[in-house]
Every structure is written in structure tokens, then in C-alpha cells.
Amino acid sequence: MFQLRNKVVQSSKSLLKDTPRKMFSSSVGGGPGFGSMALLGAGTAGLAYLMYQGHSLRRTQVSYGNQQMNFFNPVVQDRIRKTLMYFGGGLALTGGLVGAFRNSMFALNHPWMLLFGSLGLLIATQMTDYHTNPVLKHLFWGGFMASMGLSMVPLISMAGLPIVYDAMFATGLTVGGLGLVAYNAPSEQFLKWGGALGMGCAGMIGISLASMFWPSPALYNIWLYGGLVLFSAFVLYDTQKIIHNAKSKARYDPISQSIGIYLDTIILFERFLIIFMNNKKK
């Protein structure tokens, strides 16, 4: 959901200097740029998604109380395994689509369509029942993966393969390490971070709105490095949420449960990619 819409410039020094301004403002009339639109949309989606999951979590606690299954219960382990399969499959599908459409200009020419299309498909995926409408659920899920892949094409094309591989490695270490910490934590303490993470998403919305009118390197750095910290925390939260729901929910949806950690991974990857691109141009 987060990507650069920078024009090609004559020198790498000029590109690095103008990145914040071009990302947050349009080249026509000083209006909002694609970076601002992506920030606003992703921040709003993240906040809404967190509120939805928080409501679902509270409802689960009220409905089932202490009737949670043991972590080592075969049903729980099967639920977690399926969730991780959809998580890995989603990343593989997104990567494959990026490779297939790497020369496409659709993302740059239709940013609003991709933004609202991604949000619509995300909502449709979450709202469709996995057990009663499995085919429709998978279609919406595949469409959401496709929209995410298309939205990443411009950034991937700018970075080049060596930087992409570095970003993939850094993202894998971050998500894998934090996921293991949350997976092996003796308690579900990271689930208590929901309120703070919601405030962080609200802050991202505020930054996106401010950047539409006052684009600056400071806002850009807050978005870049602050978002890196925020979505690293989301990895801890979403990992424990998967385990909690696998133990407590009567009707478990592995597709919906995998989307949170999938979005965390994509957003972290894009930020690492931007950081490595900027470092290379110094």
C-alpha cells in the first residue's frame, strides 16, 4: 500500500534530495501526491482493520471465556499451519505478480483505482465467510493479492534486483525473528498493544493529511522510520492474535487471520526497500 511516485531525474543526488517532496506532493498544482494518498488509505485501512479485529477478539472472549483449546491441540496446530500456508502463499502470489507485471505502467497511471480497489477487496475478503462461500472468499483473496502486487511494481522497478534481495533478506529476518518471539512468549502480552497500535495508525493518517499541505523531509522520515517501528510491533501483535484465535474461535478463518501478518510483511519490505535505495544514492 505504500510506494513512491517519483519522476525519473537526471542525477541520483537530485533524486535523493527531492524524494520527500515528490512522494508527498503532486507535480501538478502542488496537490497531494501518490505517497500521501497511499498513506491516507493504508492508515485508514489499518485502523479500521485493527478496530474490527479488536471487536472480534472481545466477542470471542465474551463468548468462550476460558473454553480455549490447548496450544498443542491438533485442531489448533492445524489452524495455525493453514494460516501460515495462506500467509506464505499470499507472499508468493504477490511476488509472482510483481515479476509478471514488472514492465506495466498501470500502477503509475491508475493510482486511485489501485488504492480503492485494494481497500474494497480487503474488506470483501474479510466479510466473506470462509466456510459457506470458500470459492468467493478465495477469489477476493486472490484479487487483493493481485492489487497489492500491481501497486508494488513502480517501487520494485526503481530499486533494481540487488536492493530488492537485500530488502527481502532484512524483511525475512525482522518478521521471522519477531514472529518467533511472539510465538514462544509465555503469555499473550502483545495482545494488549492494540490500543497503542491503533493510535499509531491514527498518527499515520495524521501524517498523510499533513503531508498533503506541508510536504517535508521531517514528515517523510517519521513515516519511513516510525512506520518501520510501528509495523514491527504489529508483527508481534498479529502473531499472537493468530494463536489466540486458533485456540478460542469456534469458526476459524485462516485466510482472514493471515491478512494481518501479510500486510505487516509487505509494509516492512517496502520501507526497507526505500531505506536501502536512499542509502545507495548517498
Section 113-135 average pLDDT: 91
Residue 51 has a pLDDT of 52
* Dist CA 108 CA 102 (whole Å): 12
- Does the pLDDT of residue 56 top 90, yes or no? no
Q: Could you tell me if 243 and 236 are in contact, meaning their C-beta atoms sit under 8 angstroms apart? A: no
Residue 27 backbone dihedrals phi, psi, to 5 degrees: -80, -5
Does residue 78 belong to any structural domain of this protein?
A: no
Does residue 75 belong to any structural domain of this protein?
A: no
The total of structural domains in the chain comes to 1
Residue that the C-alpha cell 470458500 belongs to:
134
Q: Which residues neighbour 19 within 8 Å (Cβ) at sequence distance 6 or greater? A: 4, 6, 220, 278
Instruction: Please give the residue that has the higher pLDDT: either 77 or 160.
Output: 77
* Dist CA 248 CA 267 (whole Å): 28
Provide the grid cell at 279: 542509502
Instruction: Please give the residue that has the higher pLDDT: either 260 or 215.
Output: 260
Does residue 69 belong to any structural domain of this protein?
A: no
Model confidence, pTM? 0.75
- Does the pLDDT of residue 65 top 60, yes or no? no
* Dist CA 272 CA 280 (whole Å): 12
Residue 235 has a pLDDT of 94
Section 22-29 average pLDDT: 40
Q: What is the residue-averaged pLDDT of the chain?
A: 77
How do residues 231-242 score in pLDDT, each as one tens digit? Answer: 999 999 999 999
Does residue 165 belong to any structural domain of this protein?
A: yes
Residue 2 has a pLDDT of 36
Consecutive H or E run containing 217: helix 217-221
Instruction: Please give the residue that has the higher pLDDT: either 53 or 183.
Output: 183
Provide the grid cell at 176: 521471522
* Dist CA 261 CA 7 (whole Å): 31
Instruction: Please give the residue that has the higher pLDDT: either 30 or 127.
Output: 127
* Dist CA 143 CA 145 (whole Å): 5
* Dist CA 251 CA 261 (whole Å): 20
Q: Which residues neighbour 228 within 8 Å (Cβ) at sequence distance 6 or greater? A: 268, 271, 272, 275
How do residues 95-123 score in pLDDT, each as one tens digit? Answer: 998 888 887 777 778 777 888 888 899 99
Q: Residue 34's closest CA among 121, 149, 151, 158?
A: 151
Does residue 16 belong to any structural domain of this protein?
A: no
* Dist CA 122 CA 173 (whole Å): 26
Section 131-155 average pLDDT: 92
Section 200-210 average pLDDT: 79
Residue 23 has a pLDDT of 45
How do residues 5-16 score in pLDDT, each as one tens digit? Answer: 333 223 333 333
Does residue 100 belong to any structural domain of this protein?
A: yes
Residue 272 has a pLDDT of 94
Does residue 281 belong to any structural domain of this protein?
A: no
- Does the pLDDT of residue 35 top 60, yes or no? no
Helix then strand then coil, % of the chain, to nearest 5: 80, 0, 20
Does residue 96 belong to any structural domain of this protein?
A: yes
Q: Could you tell me if 220 and 274 are in contact, meaning their C-beta atoms sit under 8 angstroms apart? A: no
The rounded percent of the chain whose pLDDT value lies above 90 is: 39
Q: Could you tell me if 41 and 119 are in contact, meaning their C-beta atoms sit under 8 angstroms apart? A: yes
How do residues 161-174 score in pLDDT, each as one tens digit? Answer: 889 999 999 999 99
Task: Give residue 113's domain range.
Answer: 31-64+84-276
